[in-house]
Structure 1
Amino acid sequence: MINSTQVSYFILVAYFDTGALKYLYFMIVMSLYMLIVGANLLLIVVICLNRSLHEPMYLFLCSLFVNELYGSTGLFPFLLLQILSDIHTVSAPFCYLQIFCVHFYGSVQFFTLGVMSYDRYLAICHPLQYHIRMTSSKVAILTAFIWLYSVLATVVMMSLSVPLQRCGNTIEKVYCDNYSIVKLACSDTTVSNIFGLVYIFTVIFGLVILILYTYMRILKVCFSGSKQTRQKAVSTCTPHLASLLSFAFGSFFEIVQGRFNMSRVPIMFRIFLSLYWLTCQPLFTPVLYGLNMSKIRIISKILYLGRRM
C-alpha cells in the first residue's frame, strides 16, 4: 500500500508522444495564453481607469476577468512545460497547488456568474430601484464573499482529499484535479464524498435555482414589455447567458469524464473536454463582452488610438 506521505509525485498519462509536432502544439497553446492574458488585462485596465464604468455590472465583470487571468495562469504555464517535456510527472505539492487553483477558479467563476444574473434581473425587472438595491458597498460585499467563500470551500475540500491514503499515483488527465487523486485512494472517502454531495445540493443547486429564477423573470418582462425593453434585455443578457452556458457545458463534461469510463472516447477528444472549461471561458468571455458592450468598445478604441498618437 502506498500512503499519501509516500506519494512524492504523480504521473500524467493523458500525454502522448507527438514527436516534432510538440513545437506546433507549444506555439498554439502559447498563442492562446497570450491572447487570454492580453484580452483580460485590457478590459481590466479599461474598467479600472474609467469612472463611467464603475457600475455594478462592470465591477462584477472586472472580478470575472481577474479570476480568468488567475485560472488560466494556474494551467497554461504548466501545460507549456509538459508539452516540451518527455517525462510527464508532477510533484505532489505542485499537484495539490494546481488542484487548489483549478477548483478555486471554478468556484469563483460560477458564483460570479450567478451574482451577475441577479444583477441583470434587478436592472431589467426593477430599473427604478436598481441603484438602491445594488449599491457600490453591496457589490464590494458580494465580491468579497465570493472570493473568501471560494477559498474556504476549496481549502476544506483539499483538507479532506489530500491526507487520504493512496494505492497509486497515476492521473488520467493532462493536469491535476481533486477527483483524480480521490480516485487513487485506498482508504475511506466517505467524509470527502459527503462534503462533495452537500456542496452540490446546497451551493451549486441553490445557484442554479437563482439563475433559472432570474432568467424566467427577465423573459416575462421581455414578453410583456416594450420593444425597447426587449432590446435592452437582449443586449445586456446575451453575453452573460452565452458565458454561463459555455461554463455549464464545460463543467458538465468535466464531471462526466471524471465519473464515467471514457476509455472508448478518442484521447484527443478527452483532452479537449478536460481543458474546455479552463480555456474557452477565459478566451471567449472578454470577446463576448468586449463586442457586445458599447461603452467598453468605445473606451478601448480611445485608449488604442491614444497609444498610437
Structure 2
Amino acid sequence: MNQSVTDPALLLAAYDPPGPLNYIFFTLIFFIYVLTILGNVILIIVICKDSGLHKPMHTFLLHLAVNGLIGSSAVCPKVMENLVSDAQGISRTGCLLQVFFINVYATCAYAILALMAYDRYVSICKPLQYHTIVTPFRVRLLLTVVYFVPVSLLSFQIYLTSRLPLCWYVIHKLFCDNLSIVKLSCTQKPLENLFGLSIISTMVVLPFLLVLLSYMRILRVSLRASKESQRKALSTCAPHLIVFINFSVSLLFGVVYNRHSTASKYVNYFNSAQFIFFPPLLHPLIYGIRTKEIRRSVVKIVQRGILA
C-alpha cells in the first residue's frame, strides 16, 4: 500500500476480494441508493413547487430529505466502489471527510426531528398561538442553529482527529468513523474521547429528550381532548413518530449490533451500516404515504406533467 507522509492511505479491511457475493451486495446497495435519491429529490421538488406546502413542518421535512441525501452520498458510492475494487483503500483526508459528512447526517437528522416534534407540540397544544410562535423568522433561525452547531462542533472534532499521528492503517469497517481513526493513533487521546462524548450528549441525547418531552405534553393534552381531536392529533403526529422511531432504532441497532453481535461478519457489517442505508430511503416514503397534503401535491404535479 502506498503511503505519503502528509496523507497516508488507510485500508478498509471489511471487504473481501471481488466475487459473486460482492456483486450481489453492490446491486442491492445500488438500488437502495438510486431509490433514496429519487425519493428524496421528488419530495424536495414537490415541497418547493407547491406553495401550499410552504409551511414550517414541510420546510423541516425538506431539510430532512436534503440531510438524507448527504448521509447516503457520504457512504454508498464509496462502499459500492470498494465492493468491486481490488484495492479497498481510502486516503486519510477522504476518510476524515467521510466521517464529517456521516456525523453531520446523523446529528442534523436528530436536530431536525426535534424541531419537527416542537412544531407538532405548538400546533396541538397551542393552536391559537401557533402563527405567532412558529414564525418564518424563527424557522430560519432554528434551522441556522441546527446546521451551525453540529457543523462547528464536528469540524473541530475532525481538526483534533487530523492532528493525531498514526501508527496503524487498517480499519475493520465498511466505512470510516471517528473512533476507528482515533484508535489508529500512536498517542493517548483523552481530549478527543471527551469531546466525542460531549458531541453525543449535545447532538443526540438532548434532541432525543426534547422529542420525548414534546410528545409527553402532546399526549397529556390529547387525553383531555375529544375523540375527534385525538384522531386528528394522531394523524398529524404519526408520520413524524414513525420516522423518529425508525431513525432512532436504526441508529441504536447498528451501534449495538456492530459491537456485541456474534453473527457472521457480513450480517455485522450490514447492520452497522443500515442506519445510513434505510432511513433516508424510508423517510420520504413514510411522509408520502402518511401525509395527505404531500400525496395530493404529488398527484397534482403528475397530472400537470401528463396534461402539459
Cα offsets for 1:233-283 (capped at 9, x unmatched) = 21121111111112212222344356x465x33112211222111111101
- Equivalence for 2:57: 57
Match of 1:292 among 285, 290, 293: 290
- Equivalence for 2:116: 116
Q: Distance in 2 between matches of 1:203 and 1:31?
A: 31
Cα offsets for 1:104-126 (capped at 9, x unmatched) = 11111111011111111111111
2:67 and 2:108 in contact (8 A); partners too: yes
Cα offsets for 1:201-229 (capped at 9, x unmatched) = 34433222211111101111222111121
Q: Distance in 1 between matches of 2:4 and 2:177?
A: 16
Q: Distance in 1 between matches of 2:4 and 2:127?
A: 54
- Equivalence for 2:181: 181
Q: What letter is aligned with 1:291? A: I
- Equivalence for 1:38: 38
- Equivalence for 1:274: 272
**What SS is found at the alignment partner of 2:104?**
helix
**What SS is found at the alignment partner of 1:195?**
helix
Could you list the runs of 5+ residues in structure 2 that have no partner in the other structure? none
- Equivalence for 1:106: 106
Cα gap change, 1:165 to 1:254, in 2 (>3 Å): farther
1:168 and 1:184 in contact (8 A); partners too: yes
User: What is the TM-score of this pair, normalised by structure 2?
Assistant: 0.93
Q: Distance in 2 between matches of 1:57 and 1:236?
A: 10
Cα offsets for 1:85-105 (capped at 9, x unmatched) = 122111111111111111111
2:13 and 2:172 in contact (8 A); partners too: yes
Could you list the runs of 5+ residues in structure 1 that have no partner in the other structure? none
Q: Distance in 2 between matches of 1:76 and 1:35?
A: 12
Which moved further from structure 2: 178-187 or 4-13? 4-13
Cα gap change, 1:208 to 1:20, in 2 (>3 Å): closer
Over the residues paired in the alignment, what is the CA RMSD in angstroms?
1.9
Q: Distance in 2 between matches of 1:149 and 1:220?
A: 31
Correspondence list, 1:211-290, <5 A: 211-256=211-256, 260=259, 262=261, 264-290=262-288
- Equivalence for 1:305: 303
Q: Distance in 2 between matches of 1:21 and 1:278?
A: 21
1:10 and 1:92 in contact (8 A); partners too: yes
Cα gap change, 1:257 to 1:189, in 2 (>3 Å): farther
1:7 and 1:169 in contact (8 A); partners too: no
Q: Distance in 2 between matches of 1:115 and 1:294?
A: 21
Cα gap change, 1:189 to 1:44, in 2 (>3 Å): same
1:4 and 1:163 in contact (8 A); partners too: no
**What SS is found at the alignment partner of 2:278?**
helix
- Equivalence for 1:80: 80
2:18 and 2:85 in contact (8 A); partners too: no
1:4 and 1:164 in contact (8 A); partners too: no
Post-superposition offset of 1:51: 1.1
User: What is the TM-score of this pair, normalised by structure 1?
Assistant: 0.93
Q: Distance in 2 between matches of 1:280 and 1:203?
A: 21
Q: Distance in 2 between matches of 1:23 and 1:200?
A: 35
Correspondence list, 1:124-135, <5 A: 124-135=124-135
Post-superposition offset of 1:143: 0.9
1:4 and 1:166 in contact (8 A); partners too: no
1:43 and 1:62 in contact (8 A); partners too: yes
Q: What letter is aligned with 2:224? A: S
2:113 and 2:244 in contact (8 A); partners too: yes
